[in-house]
Amino acid sequence: EAGVAQSPRYKIIEKRQSVAFWCNPISGHATLYWYQQILGQGPKLLIQFQNNGVVDDSQLPKDRFSAERLKGVDSTLKIQPAKLEDSAVYLCASSWNGGEETQYFGPGTRLLVL
Amino acid sequence: GESVGLHLPTLSVQEGDNSIINCAYSNSASDYFIWYKQESGKGPQFIIDIRSNMDKRQGQRVTVLLNKTVKHLSLQIAATQPGDSAVYFCAEIPSNFGNEKLTFGTGTRLTIIP
């Protein structure tokens, strides 16, 4: 079974530029998550999708971050404009139906904002 | 606020010895706990999980113990190998309907000494 795929793996941009990350979840998983992991910390949930609908985006900085999952499969996360403090690893995860079940993570995209 | 924390940020263990990684949680509504392993440059990898109606669960070389009285979780790794070197996170999901958010602790870095 293929795992969660993410691209790009690394990205370096200057502050105030925009950037987009892509995620392809495990086939059949209805729930998709985006996490931000700052160096030395555990992942923090940014947004959760159930199929193509948003379940929880309470911790997403909506003035600069946006995410979509239009067809209920792939998802993109965008930052515009980026700030220095956005430097982190952005992890995508998926699970069958959300709730109390295991989430499977992709390799992440490491973002450096200069 | 509610949090999942770890007692020790780093742990060094001789190869072949057993290791124990501890985790304290504060959300009494937590119903499901997961241990993840994260190697450098990779996303968190599921190791083992346990639900609140159990106090012990065993996997291959790993055992998770749950003490709900003192809100404590531990991960035991038997006969450690160099490949066990990684950061280990405990994570919890509360049973509060509509707030089933996976919350990670800071992590413990386990180093296996050859």
CA distance A16 to chain B (A): 26
Question: Which positions in chain B touch A107 (Cβ < 8 Å)?
Answer: 41-43
Per the CB < 8 Å rule, is A42 touching B51? no
Q: What is the mean pLDDT of residues A40-54?
A: 93
Q: Does residue B49 carry a pLDDT above 50?
A: yes
pLDDT band of residue A23 (cuts 50, 70, 90) is very high
Q: Per-residue pLDDT for B83 more than 90?
A: yes
Nearest CA in chain B to A110: B41
Rounded to the nearest integer, the mean pLDDT of chain B is 88
Per-residue confidence (pLDDT) for residue B7, from 0 to 100: 47
Asked which of A18-27, A84-93, B22-31 is least confident by mean pLDDT, the reply is B22-31
- DSSP 8-state code for residue B113: E
Q: Which residue of B has its CA nearest to A46?
A: B101
Q: What is the 3-state secondary structure (H, E, C) of chain A?
A: CCCCEEECCEEEECCCCCEEEEEECCCCCCEEEEEEECCCCCCEEEEEEECCEEEECCCCCCCCEEEECCCCCCEEEEECCCCHHHCEEEEEEEECCCCCCCCEECCCEEEEEC
pLDDT in the model for residue B6: 44
Does residue B29 sit at the A interface (CB-CB below 8 Å)?
no
Give the pLDDT confidence score for residue B99 in this predicted structure.
56
| Chain A neighbors of B41, CB-CB under 8 A | 107, 110
Q: Is it the case that residue B102 has pLDDT exceeding 80? A: yes
Q: What is the dihedral of CA B61, B67, B68, B74, to 10 degrees?
A: -50
Residue A85 or A102, more confident = A85
What integer pLDDT is reported at residue B86 of this predicted model? 96
Three-state DSSP at B82 gives: helix
What phi and psi values does residue A88 have, to the nearest 5 degrees? -175, 180
| Element of type H or E holding A112 | strand A109-113
Q: Is B104 on the interface with A (CB under 8 A)?
A: yes
Tokens of A110: 């490491």
pLDDT at B98: 55
Asked if B2 is an interface residue toward chain A (Cβ–Cβ < 8 A), one would say no
Contact across the interface for A42 and B107, Cβ inside 8 Å: yes
Question: Do A102 and B105 lie within an 8 Å CB cutoff?
Answer: no
